[in-house]
Amino acid sequence: MKRVFAFAVTAALGLSNLTSASLHSEKGHASFSTWGGHGKKVNCCSALSRVLGGKVVFPDSAAYEESIASYWSAQEEAVSPNCVVLPENAEDVAMAVATLRHSRGHVRDHDGCQFAIRSGGHTPWAGAANIEDGVTIDLSNFNRVEVSSDRSTVIIGPGSSWREVYDVVVPQGLATGGGRVANVGVGGLVLGGGVSFFSPRKGFVCDGVKRFEVVLASGRIVNATQDSHHDLWLALKGGSNNFGVVTAIEQEVFEQGDLWGGSVGFDESTFEQQFAAFEAFTGNPDYDPYASLIHSRIYNFTTKTWFTIAQFEYTKPEAYPPIFENFTSLPTTFSTTRISNLRDFTEELAVSNPPGQRRMFVTSTYSNSAEMLKQIFLMANETVRQMEDVSGLIFILSSQPEPTIIQKASAEAGGNSLGLTVEDGPLFNFQWTLTWDDAEDDERVEQQVRDAYDQAERRARELGVQQKFIYLNYAAKWQDPIGGYGEEVVKRLQHVSRKYDPTGVFQKQVPGGFKLFD
Ligand SMILES: Cc1cc2nc3c(=O)[nH]c(=O)nc-3n(C[C@H](O)[C@H](O)[C@H](O)COP(=O)(O)OP(=O)(O)OC[C@H]3O[C@@H](n4cnc5c(N)ncnc54)[C@H](O)[C@@H]3O)c2cc1C
Ligand SMILES: *[C@@H]1O[C@H](CO)[C@@H](O)[C@H](O)[C@H]1NC(C)=O
Ligand SMILES: *[C@@H]1O[C@H](CO)[C@@H](O)[C@H](O)[C@H]1NC(C)=O
Ligand SMILES: *[C@@H]1O[C@H](CO)[C@@H](O)[C@H](O)[C@H]1NC(C)=O
Ligand SMILES: *[C@@H]1O[C@H](CO)[C@@H](O)[C@H](O)[C@H]1NC(C)=O
């Protein structure tokens, strides 16, 4: 296979001096640095077509249109690559990466073609997993989900949605850490950390990964596990698209029956009590590891008031567990709580997160504090009233507890690259989610939210609750989540990058996502 592979790449590029050995050596690229100097520019997409044939699709074809139309946000859907590669196996990906690495892009004057890596396509900002005038590697054919015969792991194609994962594991009485919304993609979520209903028991989703199959910059395919390429395994747990293209994820599964949970509505009259309940819940020294919560406040532009939708989840079939009692004792406006299976709860959340709309996420992390929750709410309340004329605006503030028990579970599972420790104390994630109709409002929405966010950061400093961690999977394009992992982790990640990708293919040729070097 190696020979066929090298031959095909050589043929596609018309490179007579390219040998199989140099293609497969992680250090053998020096000879190519002069290669592009002939002045002859290779069209990235035609080079790919020559090696991958019909797996490379072009604008106006049904396959291209389908790929581009399947991003979650309207902004990411509006990005038009010159072609989309639809690989079917890791060898195809290896061929694509090697071809892109050695071809001199005709777009901009970079050495090598510019490309994007896409799994579920759920990052809202344009260019995270798609690329204007470049090549998008769409992993949607990587949707195999297979439970191991000993029922200890599940091998997941990164292009799967979590729906496809739960469809396989739930009927077998199993579960795995994963997205809480059925339609979200696997690849991006796992590589950015991943928060699941099981996080207090199992840590971040990435903490459950036993093996990543990765295509490196050289085109070589490796398995990164606790025992083999340990540094890469650790780096991928939070390191996103900086080290290679992940083509399979083998993750822990565990026995899991039904859960209790659902959405519960509260009105604005009890916000102060809700903030107090949130703080007590997050900081509870006897935090019940079966419990998790997403507490979202939403503005109603008709009534000009706010309301809460709290998503309670308890990963045992026990209704109204006492840990939620400070919330559940308050008057509610509706409730969908029930005992049901994991799949059902993630489908409930998919209904309220449909694709195709203009979207923005911004996030921060703060020390556990009811006062901070209240302060951001008061600021957001001012902001939202200046935005009443934005067509179709949906304005949501979500808070998610990050009790120290999550960091403890991460450490027990072998650690990750997020840079969080038990010593950080109980934290909470804060997320601004904006949805609106018209592109002409993009700039204004983004600026107003950014101003409100900056104001919240200043207030956090005043209150002494500021934290460096920025959750990558919720971060806006202009945020620096990798920097938020802390200097020590960043240095380690940079070292791993130099080792596995010495010419910086995933730094320079994959501009989307969050990068390791400034
Ligand atoms: C409706 C909705 C619900 C969500 N729910 C949750 C939740 O419950 N928990 C949670 O933690 N997060 C959640 N998120 C955030 C989610 O984790 C991110 O949006 C994540 O990026 C989605 O993964 P994806 O594969 O769909 O993303 P993509 O946009 O395809 O990729 C994200 C980034 O990862 C890189 N990447 C993707 N796949 C690979 C790969 N195989 N190899 C190398 N790099 C790759 C891409 O290049 C890109 O930069 C949710 C998001 C949405 C929109
Ligand atoms: C990676 O591991 C899987 C499962 O053990 C195995 O089938 C595959 O051949 C391995 N790949 C490499 C490149 O070692
Ligand atoms: C806002 O309130 C009105 C009037 O009570 C209601 O009809 C509408 O559904 C609410 N909108 C949202 C987004 O909840
Ligand atoms: C409920 O709130 C009170 C007062 O803040 C607190 O002492 C108690 O621990 C909370 N209970 C739970 C289960 O969080
Ligand atoms: C939100 O802002 C409006 C308009 O400024 C104000 O009337 C209202 O009291 C504010 N709500 C809270 C809880 O402060």
Q: Report which ligand 1 atom has the smallest distance to the Cα of 514.
A: 49
Q: Among the listed ranges 4-8, 16-20, 340-344, 461-465, which one has the minimum average pLDDT value? A: 16-20
CA of 274, nearest ligand number: 4
- Structure confidence at residue 42 as a pLDDT band (50, 70, 90): low
Q: What percent of the chain has pLDDT over 70?
A: 90
Residue 221 makes CB contacts below 8 A (sequence gap 6+) with 90, 91, 94, 213, 214, 215, 247
List pLDDT tens digits, range 187-225. Answer: 999 999 999 999 999 999 999 999 999 999 999 999 999
What's the confidence (pLDDT) of residue 17? Answer: 33
What's the confidence (pLDDT) of residue 102? Answer: 84
Number of H helices, E strands in the chain: 17, 19
Say how many Å lie between the CA of residue 89 and the centre of ligand 2.
13
What's the confidence (pLDDT) of residue 105? Answer: 55
Say how many Å lie between the CA of residue 304 and the centre of ligand 5.
9
What's the confidence (pLDDT) of residue 377? Answer: 98
Quote the CA–CA distance of 55 and 313 in Å, as a whole number: 42
CA of 298, nearest ligand number: 3
Whether residue 44 has pLDDT greater than 80: yes
Q: Ligand 3: which residue has its CA nearest to atom 13?
A: 300
What's the confidence (pLDDT) of residue 345? Answer: 98
Whether residue 436 has pLDDT greater than 60: yes
Quote the CA–CA distance of 343 and 308 in Å, as a whole number: 24
- Nearest to residue 5, comparing CAs of 18, 17, 117? 18
What's the confidence (pLDDT) of residue 35? Answer: 33
- Nearest to residue 252, comparing CAs of 179, 137, 155? 155
The verdict on the CB of residue 202 being under 6 Å from ligand 1 is no
Whether residue 405 has pLDDT greater than 50: yes
Say how many Å lie between the CA of residue 427 and the centre of ligand 2.
38
Cα–Cα separations (whole angstroms), residue 318 to 175, 261, 295, 332, 364? 17, 9, 20, 20, 32
- Structure confidence at residue 112 as a pLDDT band (50, 70, 90): confident
List pLDDT tens digits, range 296-310. Answer: 999 999 999 999 999
> What is the arithmetic mean of pLDDT over 240-262?
98
Question: Sheet harboring 245-252: ordered strands across?
Answer: 145-147, 153-156, 245-252, 209-215, 221-225
> What is the arithmetic mean of pLDDT over 228-239?
98
Whether residue 107 has pLDDT greater than 90: no
- Structure confidence at residue 111 as a pLDDT band (50, 70, 90): low
Whether residue 16 has pLDDT greater than 50: no
Q: Ligand 4: which residue has its CA nearest to atom 12?
A: 323
What's the confidence (pLDDT) of residue 130? Answer: 98
- Nearest to residue 6, comparing CAs of 489, 369, 21, 14? 21
Whether residue 91 has pLDDT greater than 90: yes
Domains, the chain, ordered by start: 43-140 (3.30.43.10), 145-256+486-500 (3.30.465.10), 259-484 (3.40.462.20)
> What is the arithmetic mean of pLDDT over 429-451?
98
Burial of 37 (0-12, 13-18, 19+ CB in 10 A): exposed
What's the confidence (pLDDT) of residue 136? Answer: 98
Q: Report which ligand 4 atom has the smallest distance to the Cα of 280.
A: 14
- Nearest to residue 121, comparing CAs of 178, 70, 192, 196? 70
- Structure confidence at residue 26 as a pLDDT band (50, 70, 90): very low
What's the confidence (pLDDT) of residue 104? Answer: 61
Whether residue 453 has pLDDT greater than 70: yes
Quote the CA–CA distance of 11 and 53 in Å, as a whole number: 13
Burial of 322 (0-12, 13-18, 19+ CB in 10 A): exposed
Say how many Å lie between the CA of residue 274 and the centre of ligand 4.
11
E-state strands within 329-385: 334-335, 338-340, 358-367
CA of 285, nearest ligand number: 4
| Helix locations, 90-138, DSSP H | 90-102
What's the confidence (pLDDT) of residue 60? Answer: 92
> What is the arithmetic mean of pLDDT over 75-102?
97
E-state strands within 216-285: 221-225, 245-252, 254-255, 259-267
- 284, 299 in Cβ contact below 8 A? no
The verdict on the CB of residue 336 being under 6 Å from ligand 2 is no
> What is the arithmetic mean of pLDDT over 319-331?
97
- Structure confidence at residue 33 as a pLDDT band (50, 70, 90): very low
CA of 377, nearest ligand number: 5
Quote the CA–CA distance of 192 and 119 in Å, as a whole number: 12
Quote the CA–CA distance of 294 and 305 in Å, as a whole number: 20
What's the confidence (pLDDT) of residue 518? Answer: 79
Say how many Å lie between the CA of residue 299 and the centre of ligand 4.
27
DSSP class of 485: G
Whether residue 110 has pLDDT greater than 60: no
Between β-strands 145-147 and 153-156, what pairing exists: parallel, antiparallel or unpaired? Answer: antiparallel
Quote the CA–CA distance of 507 and 514 in Å, as a whole number: 9
Quote the CA–CA distance of 254 and 85 in Å, as a whole number: 35
Say how many Å lie between the CA of residue 236 and the centre of ligand 4.
38
Ligand 5 pocket (Cβ < 6 Å) reads: 378, 381, 385
- Average pLDDT over all residues of the chain: 92
> What is the arithmetic mean of pLDDT over 480-485?
98
> What is the arithmetic mean of pLDDT over 303-329?
98
- 376, 430 in Cβ contact below 8 A? yes
C-beta atoms surrounding 303 within 10 Å: 10
Say how many Å lie between the CA of residue 276 and the centre of ligand 4.
8
